């Protein structure tokens, strides 16, 4: 959603973000077992493809991310899934950068995790998949824009105008992601509802390891 580029963020933000991202990735990897692995690969590929089309906005850019959908389907496993997609984009296409990889992972993955914690259980209880999907898509994008803006603002007062621009530029994307996520969640709820229960199982049972 918001690929911040190398050379923009301050050292404390880069170091702190990388440390938190490493811990989140490690925890997410522990949640991946044989049942979840195909979904992790599929959703990581969807993220990779959806976020390849970029519209530059100041030091960042606007693109689809699907982090609300990844959160609902994968739970904590969305963090390593997004990390892999970002790493491949940085290496092969030069999007974002290596030094900001940890911060970009947090910017995109953590809002999706918040949506998973908020909406996975109501989905399993039969609440409207369209409304919950739309809310997840919209809130995840809004959370990503806010987190990206905060990272810029924490790096220096000179980045405050850019942070405000990032927030404003993502308003149309919020609506688009709400529609896409609502459509996909409603489809999964109808044809394969067990997929939407995967994040809940992470807190209800110990992960299985080979």
- Each residue's pLDDT tens digit, 153-194: 888 877 778 777 777 777 888 888 999 999 999 999 889 888
* pLDDT of 33: 81
**Among positive and negative, which fits the CA dihedral 161, 59, 149, 11?**
negative
| Cα 20-163-90 angle, rounded to 5 deg | 55
* pLDDT of 61: 61
pTM to 2 decimal places: 0.85
Which residues, 6+ apart, have CB-to-CB distance to 53 below 8 Å? 63, 64
* pLDDT of 40: 92
* pLDDT of 199: 66
Which residues, 6+ apart, have CB-to-CB distance to 81 below 8 Å? 28, 40, 41, 43, 44, 47, 70, 74
- Between these two residues, 114 and 158, which has the higher pLDDT value? 114
pLDDT digits (tens, 9 = 90+) for 47-62: 998 888 766 655 556 6
Q: What percent of the chain has pLDDT over 70?
A: 89
- pLDDT band per the 50, 70, 90 thresholds, residue 127: confident
- Between these two residues, 91 and 34, which has the higher pLDDT value? 91
Dist. CA 125–CA 109, nearest whole Å: 24
- CB–CB of 28/108 below 8 Å? no
| Phi-psi domain of 209 (left: phi exceeds 0; alpha: psi -120 through 50; beta: other) | beta
pLDDT over 50 at 206, yes or no? no
* pLDDT of 1: 47
Output the average pLDDT for the chain: 85
Domains of the chain, earliest start first: 11-203 (1.10.1760.20)
Dist. CA 35–CA 74, nearest whole Å: 11
* pLDDT of 207: 45
Which runs of consecutive H residues, i.e. helices, occur in the chain?
11-30, 37-50, 67-74, 78-93, 101-124, 129-154, 160-169, 171-191, 198-204
- Between these two residues, 29 and 167, which has the higher pLDDT value? 29
- pLDDT band per the 50, 70, 90 thresholds, residue 103: very high
Dist. CA 129–CA 75, nearest whole Å: 17
Structure tokens at 37: 């692995």
């Amino acid at each position: 959603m918001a690929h911040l580029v190398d050379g923009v963020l301050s050292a404390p933000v880069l170091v702190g973000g990388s440390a938190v991202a490493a811990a989140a990735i490690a925890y997410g990897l522990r949640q991946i077992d044989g049942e979840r692995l195909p979904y992790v690969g599929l959703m990581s590929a969807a993220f990779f493809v959806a976020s390849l089309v970029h519209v530059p906005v100041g030091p960042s850019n606007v693109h689809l991310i699907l982090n609300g959908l990844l959160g609902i389907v994968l739970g904590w496993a969305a963090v390593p899934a997004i990390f892999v997609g970002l790493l491949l984009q940085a290496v092969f296409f030069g999007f974002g950068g290596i030094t900001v990889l940890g911060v970009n992972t947090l910017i995109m993955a953590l809002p999706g995790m918040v949506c998973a914690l908020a909406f996975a259980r109501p989905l399993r209880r039969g609440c409207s998949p369209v409304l919950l999907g739309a809310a997840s898509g919209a809130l995840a994008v809004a959370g990503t824009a806010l987190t990206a803006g905060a990272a810029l603002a924490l790096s220096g007062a000179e980045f405050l105008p850019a942070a405000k621009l990032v927030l404003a530029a993502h308003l149309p994307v919020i609506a688009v992601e709400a529609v896409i996520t609502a459509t996909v969640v409603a489809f999964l709820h109808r044809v394969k509802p067990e997929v939407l229960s995967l994040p809940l199982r992470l807190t209800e049972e110990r992960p299985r390891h080979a």
